[in-house]
Structure 1
Amino acid sequence: MACAHAVTFARARSSRARQRGGLSLVRGNGASGPIGVFGGTFDPIHFGHLRTALELREILGLADVRFIPCRVPPHRDKQPSAGALRLDMVHAAVADEDGFSVDEREFERPGPSYTIDTLASLRAEVGPRPLCLLLGMDAFLGLPTWHRWTEILDVAHVVVAHRPGWVMPADGPLGKLLAQRRSATPEPLHEDAYGCVFVTPVTQLEISATDLRRALARGDDPRFLVPDAVREIIMRSECYR
């Protein structure tokens, strides 16, 4: 597998890459290109989620980003808002964006929504096509607490999006993982079906779903924090009041 030798990637740049705004952008391969897997409770989905997904789609050359709402988050004591409303909001948020889609498989499966189970079911469907699990830095730092986390790279790549200036772990299980599997370029995400870690800065919009829920509970208007279609669902349902 190409990403078994991380040093090699630091010396190589594919002719498929192009530069724009200081970011290396890879051209996607249409129906055969990598699939981005973007999971979360999306409670509610907001422009921070959408901007990150858009930039990663462009940087990595993803053919599609699949938003996968989590039905039962294993690491949360408090359960999220009603699943049907969260699904409606995600569908509304991505409806007009080419290359974005919604995958409801975690709502069709009983029990906790473990990422490894979701990735394994996707792998069974797409065969050798590359899968890229898209994570923010906070999620990546918590990765060792996830159910069967060491198996994730056996079915997918891991892409870590962070704000400029973040320092990646140099020791512990994540430091070891990065030393063994990190790629300096996104090209191996197209060449292999799974097994690489790629880290890239993205624009970080300071929008927190937790803070947004608190503001909504006070009766604040979420305009310019969420898409208009999502705002309409929130205001009509009063789901956070």
Structure 2
Amino acid sequence: MSGTETGDETGPPRVAMLGGTFDPIHLGHLRAAVELGEVLALDRLHLIPSHLPPHREAPGVASSDRLAMVAAGIGDTPGLTADDREMRRDGPSWSLQTLESLRIEYGEQARLIMVLGLDAFRLLPEWHAPAALFDQAHIVVIGRPEHQRPDDPALEALIRGREVSDIPSLMAHAHGRMMYLELPTAMAISATEIRRRLAVGTSVRYLLPAGVERYIRDHQLYGPDSQ
């Protein structure tokens, strides 16, 4: 992270949210979080497990366990926060409400960023009030190099006039812009594959932080006897 304190004389705080089911959180998620902090000079990055994801089936593992795994994965990593705010709300976990709460917490001048993977970004026009997301935050899209830019008229209409190509242009505004960002060491790790391995008892070593692997074992998650 940037090493600055939020709200100090260096300028408005730079804050990002990285949401997802985190079912379970793995080294790909965590490496991306660290690199986002470095590249964007963030003061804080909130990793927010979705409690009731509106666009997909609810995970089979309770949100409390997924939050605990996020906390175990983060450990003492500076600048990363395991955030339970979606678990404290009733109803679907709309990203707009999450951004609104972060905006209230950090103030109108904060540079607030919602981070999306390319697959989630492709579906953005289907989200709840997608245009209103830009009233609260920037959107930064991270993706694998082999993926191509989406070619969808609804998505193009949504981001028209908002795209910037560099970080200073993004950070010149508190919200309302979007940018594609390729991270230096993106890791193609699949939570689906991790769950499959755990279900059949094969190794997940070096796919998960040791603390997350330990939590899964101690709480008997994902394995053949977990249901």
Calculate the TM-score normalised by the size of structure 1.
0.84
Do 1:170 and 1:176's aligned partners in 2 also have CA atoms closer than 8 Å?
A: no
Structure 2 SS opposite 1:222: coil
* Alignment-derived partner of residue 177 in structure 2: 196
Deviations 1:40-73 (A, max 9, x none): 1101000110111111111111111111111111
Do 2:46 and 2:80's aligned partners in 1 also have CA atoms closer than 8 Å?
A: yes
Structure 2 SS opposite 1:135: strand
Deviations 1:6-61 (A, max 9, x none): xxxxxxxxxxxxxxxxxxxx967541331010101101000110111111111111
Aligned equivalent of 1:120, options 80, 89, 100: 100
Matches within 5 A, 1:17-96: 29-32=4-7, 33-96=13-76
User: How many percent of aligned residue pairs carry the same amino acid?
Assistant: 41
Give me the whole-angstrom Cα distance separating, in 2, the residues matched to 1:167 and 1:38: 22
Q: How many residues matched? A: 216
Deviations 1:190-218 (A, max 9, x none): 32110010111123312111111111011
Do 1:45 and 1:89's aligned partners in 2 also have CA atoms closer than 8 Å?
A: yes
Are positions 1:107 and 2:82 aligned together? no
* Alignment-derived partner of residue 231 in structure 1: 213
More moved, 183-192 vs 207-216: 183-192
* Alignment-derived partner of residue 199 in structure 2: 217
Give me the whole-angstrom Cα distance separating, in 2, the residues matched to 1:166 and 1:94: 28
Do 1:41 and 1:80's aligned partners in 2 also have CA atoms closer than 8 Å?
A: no
Give me the whole-angstrom Cα distance separating, in 1, the residues matched to 2:197 and 2:186: 20
* Alignment-derived partner of residue 10 in structure 1: none
Are positions 1:185 and 2:166 aligned together? yes
Give me the whole-angstrom Cα distance separating, in 2, the residues matched to 1:90 and 1:27: 21
Matches within 5 A, 1:128-167: 128=108, 129-167=110-148
Calculate the TM-score normalised by the size of structure 2.
0.89
Gaps of 5+ in 2: 8-12
The structure-2 alpha-carbon separation of the partners of 1:209 and 1:62, relative to structure 1 and needing over 3 Å to count, comes to: same
Do 2:4 and 2:43's aligned partners in 1 also have CA atoms closer than 8 Å?
A: yes
Give me the whole-angstrom Cα distance separating, in 2, the residues matched to 1:27 and 1:109: 30
Could you say which structure has the higher helix fraction?
A: 1
Do 2:15 and 2:43's aligned partners in 1 also have CA atoms closer than 8 Å?
A: yes
